[in-house]
């Protein structure tokens, strides 16, 4: 079993007095890009809702001092990527994103949101590239690089990009079905994977890679994978039902799985080593883990209650990954 020591909330946009309106609240799905003196944490945020109760989502970043991760040294003054054109897959949201260096450039794989009639939304995964060290990104095209197909008919989201053995691996989630819960339409999604040589043309594995522990309605998200001590580790989040708004005991928790080949995964949530707190920021849920190594230590960024409405927090691994 791993043991994570919670260090506290690092960033909450609500506490930034002069924050721009498009960064009104939420700091969801954090992911890290390392620099010599600081780390850049990308996250997704929202302005206030419109008169119909709907909102869009933007992505931004906050730079943290590498020697003191609770010290903010810079904050994005505009979104890293503008919303998509009318009718495009990303017209109503850029959330979440995952970044990776490509020489001097930075690639961002992101989820684009569009609105629907019979269900609230649909999503696909796009690609944008930055040539100014990850401040502003430009799309490689107006459409997605990974979208619906015969086996994955809707809601491709939550990309996590990694590169192992000169191949790109994209871990993501895809919708399995929509259900009705307390008068709302909620989607059930599972973790999947695709492989690519160039990061643009993808071969889908076309199967769920993490087994279900809690039945057909179990929701899985945020598959964060890295290599250490001879095997691949995945921290992800799951909930027992998509009806998490009404039953906090079934809301997001963090799970764990391991693999030696990236194809076959052994799930053991008892090893995750982190859970909700008795009170405060994460007493109802803990979600969207992002694990990274920095200066000989391993950290996890994660979301708390209301899926990041009040920012993201930091935990540090005590001991070693087996």
- Structure tokens belonging to residue 48: 């206030």
For 103, other C-beta atoms within 10 Å of its C-beta total: 5
The predicted structure's pLDDT at residue 245 = 63
Tell me what the mean pLDDT of segment 270-286 comes to: 96
User: Could you tell me if 223 and 171 are in contact, meaning their C-beta atoms sit under 8 angstroms apart?
Assistant: yes
Q: What is the pLDDT of residues 58-112, one digit of tens each?
A: 999 999 999 999 999 999 999 999 999 999 999 999 999 999 999 999 999 999 9
pLDDT > 90? residue 50: no
Q: What is the rounded CA–CA span in Å between residue 77 and residue 221?
A: 29
Distances (CA, A) of 13 to 3, 23, 127: 28, 7, 26
The predicted structure's pLDDT at residue 320 = 77
Under DSSP, is residue 288 helix (H, G, I), strand (E, B) or coil? strand
The predicted structure's pLDDT at residue 244 = 63
pLDDT band at 134 (very low <50, low <70, confident <90, very high): very high
pLDDT > 90? residue 257: yes
Tell me what the mean pLDDT of segment 160-166 comes to: 97
pLDDT > 90? residue 254: yes
Please report which helix (H) or strand (E) contains residue 307, including its range: helix 305-308
What domains are defined for the chain? Answer: 3-318 (2.115.10.20)
User: Residues of the chain with pLDDT > 90: what percent?
Assistant: 88
Q: What is the rounded CA–CA span in Å between residue 188 and residue 228?
A: 31
Q: What is the pLDDT of residues 196-249, one digit of tens each?
A: 999 999 999 999 999 999 888 999 999 999 999 899 999 999 998 776 666 777
The predicted structure's pLDDT at residue 184 = 87
The dihedral sign for the CA sequence 275, 281, 285, 291:
negative
Q: What is the rounded CA–CA span in Å between residue 171 and residue 168?
A: 10
The predicted structure's pLDDT at residue 270 = 96
The predicted structure's pLDDT at residue 55 = 87
């Amino acid at each position: 079993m791993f043991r994570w020591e919670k260090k506290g909330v690092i960033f909450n946009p609500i506490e930034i007095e002069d924050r721009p309106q498009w960064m009104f609240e939420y700091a969801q799905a954090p992911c890290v890009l390392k620099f010599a003196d600081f780390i850049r944490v990308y996250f997704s945020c929202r302005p206030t809702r419109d008169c119909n109760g709907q909102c869009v989502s933007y992505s931004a970043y906050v730079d943290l001092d590498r020697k003191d991760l609770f010290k903010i040294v810079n904050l994005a003054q505009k979104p890293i990527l503008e919303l998509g054109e009318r009718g495009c897959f990303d017209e109503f949201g850029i959330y979440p994103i995952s970044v990776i260096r490509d020489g001097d450039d930075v690639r961002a794989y992101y989820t684009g949101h569009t609105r629907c009639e019979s269900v609230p939304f649909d999503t696909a995964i796009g690609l944008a590239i930055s040539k100014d060290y990850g401040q502003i990104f430009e799309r490689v095209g107006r459409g997605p690089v990974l979208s619906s197909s015969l086996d994955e008919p809707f809601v491709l989201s939550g990309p996590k990009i990694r590169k192992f053995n000169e191949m790109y691996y994209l871990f993501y989630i895809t919708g399995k079905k929509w259900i009705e819960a307390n008068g709302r339409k909620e989607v059930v999604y599972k973790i999947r994977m695709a492989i690519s040589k160039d990061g643009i043309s993808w071969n889908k594995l076309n199967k769920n890679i993490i087994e279900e522990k809690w039945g057909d309605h179990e929701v899985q998200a945020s598959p964060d994978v890295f290599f250490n001590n001879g095997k691949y580790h995945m921290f992800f989040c799951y909930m027992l039902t998509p009806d998490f708004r009404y039953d906090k005991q079934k809301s997001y928790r963090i799970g764990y799985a391991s693999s030696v080949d990236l194809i076959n995964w052994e799930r053991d949530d008892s090893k995750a080593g982190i859970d909700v707190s008795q009170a405060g920021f994460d007493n109802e849920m803990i979600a969207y883990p992002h694990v990274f190594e920095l200066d000989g230590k391993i950290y996890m960024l994660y979301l708390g209650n209301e899926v990041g409405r009040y920012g993201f927090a930091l935990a540090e691994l005590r001991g070693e990954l087996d």
